[in-house]
Each structure stands twice: as C-alpha cells, then as structure tokens.
Amino acid sequence: MTIVALLFMGLRFFCKAAFTRRFGIDDGLLLFAWILTLVFGALVTASVRFGLGKHDTDNSPEDRILWNKFLFFANAFALTAIPISKTSFAVTLLRIAPKRWHKWLIWFIIISMNVAMLLLAILLLSQCRPVEKSWNREIAGSCLNRVALNSFSIFAGSYSAFLDMVLAMFPGLIIWNLQMGKREKLGVIFAMSLGFLAGIVAAVKTSFLRVRYADKAFSIGDVVIWSTAETSVTIIAASIPFFRVLIKHASTKGQSGPRRQSYRLGSFAGAHGTESRHLTTVRGQNEMGDDNSDVGILGRWPFEGRIVKVSAVTVEFSKK
C-alpha cells in the first residue's frame, strides 16, 4: 500500500508541476506523512522479523522483547502520519471553502484531530516508567492501566474515522453551488469524497483495537496492517482530485497557452453617418497568486488571482 500511495502522490505532484507549477503546504504535509509511513513500515518489518504476527508461544523471550521494542517506536510514526495526511486534505479544502463557517469548522477538525492523536501518542510513549518496561515487562517499574489506555485508543480511532466522514462530505457542500456543469460538478465531488474510504479503513482498524493480551503478538497484527492502510488510503484519496487537470488536458488534445475571447459590445450610427464598433479582447495569463490547489481541482476559468489583460479597440468609419 505504501508504494501504491507513492505512485498516486507522485502523479499528483506531476500534475501540479506540469499545470500550475506551484506547490503548497498541503503537498508538503502529504509528502511528510508518506515518509513517516515508510519509516513505520520499516520498523514493522523489523518487528515481524522478530515474531510480530506469530502466536506468543512460538516466540522466544528475547524475540518478544525485540518485536515489542520495534513496534513501540513504530507507533510514534503511525500516530503522527495519520493526522498529518488528513490535515493535508483539510488544508486543500480550506482553499476552496467559500464561507467563513466552513473554514472555522475545518480548522476545528484539524486542531481537534491532531490534539486527540497527539494525546494518544504521548500516552503510548509514556505508558511505563522506566520507558524500557513498555517492551520488557520483566523490568521493575509501573505502567498505565491497559484497559484505560486501550479505551482511549478506541476513542481516538473512532473520532478519526468520524472526522474522515465529515471531511468527505465537505466537497459536496462546497462545490454544489459553484458555477460548473452538473456532470463536471458531480465528477469533482466524487473525486474529493474518496475520503470516505479512509474513514472506512479507520473504522475497521478501530474494531481490531480490542487486543487479546494473552496472545498479543498475533492479535495486534491486524491493527498494524490497517494502520498502514489508513495513511496510504488517505494519501491516495487526497491525490486523486488533482488528476482532473491532467484528464481535462488530455481530453482537449493537449491544447495550451493563454485563452483568448473576443466579443462585440455593440454598435450605433452617428449623426453624420459615422459608425463606431467596439471590440473587446480578454486574455488570461498564467500568473498564479498562490499554489493553485483549488485551480488544479476545480479548473475554473478565469482563475482567481490571475492577471487578466483587457484590450478595448474602437473602430470609426464614415458611410458614403
């Protein structure tokens, strides 16, 4: 899944580089989330090497300590990658949200989601004193109540899944009233609502959080798999909307360059047989005011923030 996410993210970056030539904060966040997911996958691979996914009875005490240790640090990367990938999509929505309450709600989602995941990460990383006891229970010390910690994990996972659903509904709320063709509008809404898939994956992952601690190495394997899938699916869903500009470009057979439109404003006859005709030409130039994530998705013309050159020509001649 991590490689598939890389391919989709790479195509997103290609579309932005080829057609808008600008990148934004949402792109940086998405790339950072993918890097964290890659590190998470590497640490999980090391955990599997030492027994993660097997039954506890099949692992030696030494291997049990090692897979727990690698997974302990892997969790820190997963719990950072998940909210950052979703924050990237939320930042994209901020650019196209037309109303103030839309923006305030998106900001609430960003902040609350990151706070919930940050608290969970802090609890998991500081659950035992000394910290080594987190992966080696034979060491003297104390740990947080497992039931309470697991309950908060379920809450954070459920909240994350719920916010995925809310973010997936936002494109329909925002785009439906835009001046676009119905078919085009539905296509954009569908592409930007694929976050529902991330919400479904998050919900499935959360359902596996009730780990049977008597056989932890085997039981927790499902959680690890779905954690990787959650971030990867989010990256894929956040990348697909930007493919629209590539598809639209291909459908117009690669036509490019500034658009030009001429239209007649009207004509009138003068008192001495002189007639004037007015012709106005409007040209759009490729000058962007921001990273144009909204343009890459919506494909509006003329684009907001563009420099538009207007040429007005008046032609006068006398009738004989």
User: Would you state the pLDDT for residue 297?
Assistant: 56
Return the CA Rg of the chain.
27
Whether the pLDDT of residue 289 is over 60: the answer is: no
Q: What is the pLDDT of residues 109-120, one digit of tens each?
A: 999 999 999 999
| Mean pLDDT, residues 164-188 | 78
Q: What is the pLDDT of residues 126-150, one digit of tens each?
A: 999 999 998 988 888 898 888 888 8
Note whether 201 and 233 are within 8 A (CB).
yes
What values do phi and psi take at 282, rounded to 5? -115, 130
Of residues 99 and 112, more confidently modeled:
112
What are the C-alpha distances in Å from 108 to residues 32, 148, 197, 301?
22, 26, 22, 31
Report the sign of the C-alpha dihedral through residues 204, 83, 73, 144, in that order: negative
| Mean pLDDT, residues 22-38 | 92
Mean pLDDT, the chain, rounded, equals: 78
Note whether 283 and 309 are within 8 A (CB).
yes
User: Would you state the pLDDT for residue 267?
Assistant: 42
pTM: 0.75
SS (H, E, C) 76-93: HHHHHHHHHHHHHHHHHH
- Which residue pairs from 55-63 have beta carbons closer than 8 angstroms and sit at least 24 positions apart in sequence? 55/215, 55/217, 55/218, 56/214, 56/215, 56/216, 56/217, 56/218, 59/217
Q: 3-state DSSP call for residue 281?
A: strand
Q: 3-state DSSP call for residue 269?
A: strand
Listed in sequence order, the residues at least 6 apart from 113 whose beta carbon sits closer than 8 Å to its beta carbon are: 83, 86, 87, 159, 160, 163
User: Would you state the pLDDT for residue 109?
Assistant: 94
* pLDDT classification of 287: cutoffs 50, 70, 90: very low
HSE-CB at 290 with a 13 A cutoff on CA atoms is 15
**Domain extents in the chain:** 2-248, 257-318
User: Would you state the pLDDT for residue 264?
Assistant: 45
**Residue 257: exposed, middle, or buried by beta-carbon count in 10 A (0-12, 13-18, 19+)?**
exposed
Of residues 302 and 112, more confidently modeled:
112
Whether the pLDDT of residue 162 is over 50: the answer is: yes
Range in 46-55, 191-200, 246-255, 289-298 with the lowest mean pLDDT? 289-298
* pLDDT classification of 27: cutoffs 50, 70, 90: very high
